[in-house]
Structure 1
């Protein structure tokens, strides 16, 4: 992976746009402790199986006790390692439940730390925000916000806990684009799972689209400052993937098109988890297609085998913002730091006294 010791990447610790032709090795995850929320089924289960098979210890957090426990048992039997996978019941919408998941992961960890957290748990509940129901009723019923609870609140809980435990990982070092992945056994990595719904509206699913837009916003904010805690924050954004979360009606609407495959989502996430040189990048996972880049830089669909073409299911969104959008963040952060430095200790003391006055004596606050 090409890196630079100067400029924007050095300041915000965000690596350059991904080059998918650069190989990585699954075995780089060996001996790492990885938490996967929602890991009992779908591509969450795919993550668990692939990483455990390659030597990681994976902690499955899920509300489905039957599937989660069965998956952990099957993986331990297949790998011959009792430490390969463990199941911990976890309701991601419940703070104590998530705290317990992380504490159990530390307890089960051979080295007493956590290397990677994958905020994968997500649902597509009944999404009828724009259907108030019986218009003759005196007042509408409240909408079902379960999707927001799991997909937003749950992810925020997971991220908050990751930022507490990852820097405490024994033997780990702050993230570094110059790291040597096959030699870095300890890591500090957070992977968020968004969706194509993070990038575009999904008809008739406003709550799901809103929730995944929120995850994208979280990712784009965290990746600019994660280096302060030495954490690699990356994101996977799957298109419609052929799993149970896609309802039959959606599959009907998609008929004639194409859906993504679970194995491609697992491939994308594995690259982000295994390669410690990747910081602040996102990967869209769609149906595998044959494309060729034209003279304007645009990709066009072409026939398989066309000279200069490539088969891919993985794309990187907003690759240009490595230089453009986040340059704005860099300027703003530098400006704010400059203001703080200019005000110095006197400015800090003034603000503290003002805050004390507001809370203790009741003056100085906004009265509007």
Structure 2
């Protein structure tokens, strides 16, 4: 059978699609050195407790010092492991994140980092995006709008990802389990893993949450870009995309707006993240987490008691990016590739000459 030229999963080292029914052992995180930004609350807190309880050495960074320190102290008493740490970290500050990573390496029992979770995130706050000063026309220089959400959710994540790529590449080459193995060898403590935390807002809009949606769309773009080349450093990139999750963080107003639509469960988000963290066979995959539903092959909702279809709260998204793409992208990229083939080595050599000669042309003012 001819090989599909549009399927580049092997080139990107992407693992096979995830079967959520496949067993995995949370204990596979044992011994790993894991960093979590925004780890003092929310999903970060859930990840921290789960992984600490299964033997990982977890270091969290946050700006909520009292909460973070109490969380770490509780885990130390509960597990007897003194390798859990809290470090103050403002993800919007490059300097703060550099200090966080350096201190984490210093505290690491192995002197390295196995995994990083870019978890810190906030939602839009006042003023909303469409709110501008009423006297805007009378101001000579109107004040810039506060983009705190964008700073935390995008710039902060970019800082985390860039530092993660630097420090993870310094870790020993991980011992990767065979993809078709029924269970991963244990212990498998060494790893090079970056886990990004997106949102259902990475896939669709949330009215009124302009900064949040823009930032989470961008994090999805970061994931799709990094996973196409991270294999060069032996780093695996994965992502979780939670829907509205039933936590105290959702205010009453939000619950009223979402009434009747259902919520996801925090334990499903933690479980999805743990699967990606623990199983080193998983590379370049993203899991969306929402309410548990049963659907048929056409994604039509079925009765929960039905024996047909598939029921789950966790679904893989962007699974076929390297296998098939939407029609315009496929045609456009295909045309560009065809142009390159038509121009051949002559075109390649000509473009190289032009590239080397371009600075000289600019210098001569031509």
Q: TM-score, normalised by structure 2?
A: 0.86
C-alpha distance in 1 between matches for 2:221 and 2:152: 16
Contact 1:13 1:176 in 2 (8 A): no
Residue 164 of structure 1, aligned match among 163, 166, 171: 166
Superposed, which structure 2 residues align to 1:332-347 within 5 Å?
A: none
Query: Are residues 1:207 and 2:211 paired?
Result: yes
CA shift in 2, pair 1:347/1:138, >3 Å: same
CA shift in 2, pair 1:117/1:249, >3 Å: same
CA shift in 2, pair 1:67/1:333, >3 Å: farther
Contact 1:123 1:245 in 2 (8 A): no
Contact 1:115 1:166 in 2 (8 A): yes
C-alpha distance in 2 between matches for 1:176 and 1:150: 37
CA shift in 2, pair 1:105/1:346, >3 Å: farther
The Cα of 1:201 is off from its aligned counterpart by 0.7
The equivalent of 2:265 in structure 1 is 261
C-alpha distance in 1 between matches for 2:277 and 2:172: 18
Runs (5+) with no aligned partner, structure 1: 1-6
The equivalent of 1:39 in structure 2 is 39
The Cα of 1:55 is off from its aligned counterpart by 0.6
The Cα of 1:78 is off from its aligned counterpart by 0.6
Contact 1:89 1:101 in 2 (8 A): yes
C-alpha distance in 1 between matches for 2:339 and 2:37: 36
Contact 1:283 1:315 in 2 (8 A): yes
Partner deviation per Cα, 1:163-185 (whole Å, 9 max, x = no partner):
10001013536898578733432
Query: Are residues 1:86 and 2:85 paired?
Result: yes
The Cα of 1:250 is off from its aligned counterpart by 1.5
CA shift in 2, pair 1:11/1:249, >3 Å: same
The Cα of 1:301 is off from its aligned counterpart by 2.5
C-alpha distance in 1 between matches for 2:266 and 2:119: 13
The equivalent of 1:147 in structure 2 is 149
CA shift in 2, pair 1:28/1:363, >3 Å: same
C-alpha distance in 2 between matches for 1:169 and 1:341: 40
The Cα of 1:242 is off from its aligned counterpart by 2.4
SS at match of 1:313: strand
**Deviates further, 156-165 or 179-188:** 179-188
Partner deviation per Cα, 1:330-367 (whole Å, 9 max, x = no partner):
98999999999989999879856755x58xxx6168x9
The Cα of 1:225 is off from its aligned counterpart by 0.8
Q: CA RMSD in A?
A: 3.2
The equivalent of 2:184 in structure 1 is 181
The Cα of 1:16 is off from its aligned counterpart by 2.4
The equivalent of 2:250 in structure 1 is 246
C-alpha distance in 2 between matches for 1:219 and 1:333: 24
Query: Are residues 1:273 and 2:272 paired?
Result: no
CA shift in 2, pair 1:220/1:364, >3 Å: farther
Superposed, which structure 2 residues align to 1:208-223 within 5 Å?
A: 208-223=212-227
Q: TM-score, normalised by structure 1?
A: 0.85
Contact 1:111 1:170 in 2 (8 A): no
The equivalent of 1:64 in structure 2 is 64
C-alpha distance in 2 between matches for 1:25 and 1:112: 25
Superposed, which structure 2 residues align to 1:340-355 within 5 Å?
A: 351=355, 354=358
The Cα of 1:266 is off from its aligned counterpart by 0.4
C-alpha distance in 2 between matches for 1:175 and 1:352: 45
Aligned length: 352
Contact 2:289 2:315 in 1 (8 A): yes
The equivalent of 1:132 in structure 2 is 132
C-alpha distance in 2 between matches for 1:132 and 1:200: 25
C-alpha distance in 1 between matches for 2:203 and 2:355: 39
